Structure 1
Amino acid sequence: MAAELIEIVPGNPDMRKIKQVVECLMDGGIIIYPTDTVYSMGCNSYHNKAVEKLCKIKGIKPNQNKFSIVCHDLSDIATYAKVSNEAFRTMKQYLPGPYTFILPSTNELPKLLQTSRKTIGIRVPDHMIPQTLIKELGRPIITTSVKYDDIREYPNEIEVIYEENMYLADIIIDGGWCGIVPSTIVDCTDPDHFEVIREGLGEFQ
């Protein structure tokens, strides 16, 4: 069955449509949604079958995933990651925004997301649609790129995204234009030294 395309206005999300997407996430569905950087693919981080399905779509084994999770705000982060005082101060300065912070994971992280690296990427995008979805769901959602090769740029046109993913996702949210530049990734696993491992939309100093 082809994915349902749902248009949601970022500045004033229709809560009826938000609840429809949340029900899909609760049932283990895969969604594509806008962020403050690029369109992302994700699922309920606590639904094992959904995580397994997402891994299959991306062609990876669950224990080798490099997924990040999207949290509603900074208050959620300490549940899933070990945050040093310096990391918290830094994240408070930059979030919400176009950044992914890599942190040591806690045991509260869903088992399928725990890897031998014992780290997790944390996102708090400055975008009302994912923020509202997570608030209504009550738990993080996974974020991973809808880009499938290293040559083509990140897709932004919703028509292209739908055509290429209509049989992979259950719901595709048309949230308008996002962008084609991904988040900046900052490794904070060493509390004494933060390292930018991918320069993206956000400037980090």
Structure 2
Amino acid sequence: MICSKSDDIEKIVEILKNGGTSIVPTDTVYGFSGVVDLRDRKSFKTDDRIRKIKGREESKPLIQLIANPEDIYSYTDSPIPEKIMRLWPGALTVIVPVKINSPLKDYCPTVAFRCPGDEWLRRVIDGCGAPLYSTSVNRSGSPVLETFYEIRKEFETEVDILVDDGDKKGSLPSTLVMLEDKEIKVLRQGSVRID
């Protein structure tokens, strides 16, 4: 199914809440997305489906998108520096240790979160009631696809829904940081500048 950002957001949310995989525009590039099933990871396995489509190794974790900056505290006890929180919503991904009693602890000890700058996408995440996995749209090892035509041609039959928001030529990825002992370590400098 193909739709645009101007279509009824509830259709997209319904597909995602029922375990569907999607390609959606973000504040950086297009991304493969699916709901992080906080109740029972075995029921949806959207992360496994995305990895299979992309051809990505199982050990490499996927970013998780959240609807609001403060939502990160549902999943981590680590204090986030105000310098970082001020940059959200935006194209900044933060790796933090996961709470011991969080359902995400079953995934891995640390998770990369982003509160995207795209308001439409934050409304989708909020409607799903859980974070969304996100990873760039490309086959693993190949360049990120920048035009909707290329994306549709390559992946239309492999996902449940594609959301058209035009081309994303020249878009930079998110800046990726890790918080270690209150220090901010920049792992990838993207569109958000961290000094």
Could you tell me the TM-score, scaled by structure 1's length?
0.83
Cross-structure match for 1:29: 20
Q: Structure 1 residue 128 and structure 2 residue 119: aligned?
A: yes
Number of corresponding residues? 188
Cross-structure match for 1:108: 102
Structure 2: gaps (5+ residues): 38-42
| Alpha-carbon separation, structure 1, partners of 2:120 and 2:166 | 11
The structure 1 residue matched to 2:136, chosen from 118, 131, 145, is 145
The Cα RMSD (Å) is 1.9
**TM-fit CA distance, 1:158:** 0.7
| Alpha-carbon separation, structure 2, partners of 1:149 and 1:137 | 27
Tell whether the 8 Å contact from 1:81 to 1:120 is kept in structure 2 after alignment: no
| Alpha-carbon separation, structure 2, partners of 1:90 and 1:191 | 15
**TM-fit CA distance, 1:49:** 2.6
The structure 2 residue matched to 1:59, chosen from 55, 62, 71, is 55
**TM-fit CA distance, 1:150:** 4.1
Q: Structure 1 residue 73 and structure 2 residue 73: aligned?
A: no
| Alpha-carbon separation, structure 1, partners of 2:21 and 2:189 | 28
SS class of match (2:36): coil
Q: 1:81 to 1:127 in 2, by over 3 A?
A: same
SS class of match (2:82): helix
SS class of match (1:110): helix
Could you tell me the TM-score, scaled by structure 2's length?
0.87
**TM-fit CA distance, 1:122:** 0.6
Tell whether the 8 Å contact from 2:2 to 2:163 is kept in structure 1 after alignment: yes
Cross-structure match for 2:3: 6
Tell whether the 8 Å contact from 1:34 to 1:129 is kept in structure 2 after alignment: no
Percentage of matched positions with identical amino acids: 27
Q: 1:147 to 1:58 in 2, by over 3 A?
A: closer
| Alpha-carbon separation, structure 1, partners of 2:51 and 2:122 | 23
Kindly provide the amino acid, as one letter, of the partner of residue 199 in structure 1.
Answer: Q
Structure 1: gaps (5+ residues): none
